[in-house]
Amino acid sequence: MKKQLFKMISVWITLLVLGSSALGVYAQRLVFDSRHFGIVNENFAVRSSAEMTHNEFLDRINTSLKQINLNCATVVAAQSIIYEGLSNVNSALKEGLMVKNMTAVCADILNYSTQIAELAKSQPYLLLFAEDMYREMNSRALRLFSEVSGFVLKSGSDLLMDHAARDSLLRKISTELHILSGLTYGAWKVMYYAKIKGVFSSRNPFSSFINQDRSMVEDIIRNAKYLKR
């Protein structure tokens, strides 16, 4: 009986020793590295900020595209109203220089708008360089559309008989269309040169200082040559 008890105690001691050694081999130590944790959090913050900025740029590009489409649609609608509202005017007025000029200006606006859309198709970020012009174009186009449509609908056929009102409407339309044409051309030029120069040079606030420094260095080198002589 004593021998059996001794054997059981020996077995239990052996199992305890083996179990403790096994736990010592496979146990893992939990270590908290505050520096690494801070780096991970900073990286996450930077990535989140970059994603938010990217989404904001996409929203601005989408808004600019909508404004371009709305501007083109408004110009086309205003052009249609002009033609329909003045359809009963006599042939002498139809062939007048002002009406011909307005037709050419409308064609220029649509042409530059098409070129803007082509530039934005390949490089949408270029739209960001002309946001202010798009907003001004949009507001003026909508104002022109509402004024012309309201005037024609209000006056009806009497508009064509009143020479003063008719001339005033034509001058108003011609002026607004020329302004829209200038804004559209300006937006296209800004995007075109931004594409040529590149985004960095267009956004670089120190480009003028760099050019001044380069000019000063060239003057110094040139004057040094004269001094050596």
List, for residues 174-194, the tens digit of each pLDDT value.
Answer: 787 788 878 788 888 887 887
Q: Over 60: is that where the pLDDT of 104 sits?
A: yes
Largest CA distance in the chain: 135
In terms of pLDDT, which residue wins out, 185 or 69? Answer: 185
Taking a C-beta distance cutoff of 8 angstroms, is the pair 172, 102 a contact? no
Q: How far apart are CA 54 and CA 59, in angstroms?
A: 9
Q: What is the DSSP letter of 206?
A: T
Taking a C-beta distance cutoff of 8 angstroms, is the pair 105, 181 a contact? yes
List, for residues 30-65, the tens digit of each pLDDT value.
Answer: 655 667 666 777 777 777 777 787 777 777 777 766
Instruction: Kindly state the average pLDDT of the residues 87-109.
Output: 63
Instruction: Say which amino acid occupies 204.
Output: N
Q: How far apart are CA 226 and CA 73, in angstroms?
A: 63
Instruction: Kindly state the average pLDDT of the residues 120-129.
Output: 72
What is the pLDDT confidence band of residue 26, given thresholds at 50, 70 and 90? very low
Residue 160: helix, strand or coil by DSSP? helix
Neighbours of 68 (CB within 10 A): 22
Q: Over 50: is that where the pLDDT of 25 sits?
A: no
Q: Over 70: is that where the pLDDT of 96 sits?
A: no
Enumerate the domain spans of the chain: 73-199
Please provide the distance, in angstroms rounded to a whole number, between the alpha carbons at the two ends of the chain. 120
- The pLDDT value recorded for residue 70 is 66
Lowest mean pLDDT among 25-29, 37-41, 150-154, 159-163: 25-29
Q: What is the DSSP letter of 27?
A: -
What is the pLDDT confidence band of residue 113, given thresholds at 50, 70 and 90? confident
- The pLDDT value recorded for residue 79 is 61
In terms of pLDDT, which residue wins out, 79 or 168? Answer: 168
Q: How far apart are CA 175 and CA 19, in angstroms?
A: 95
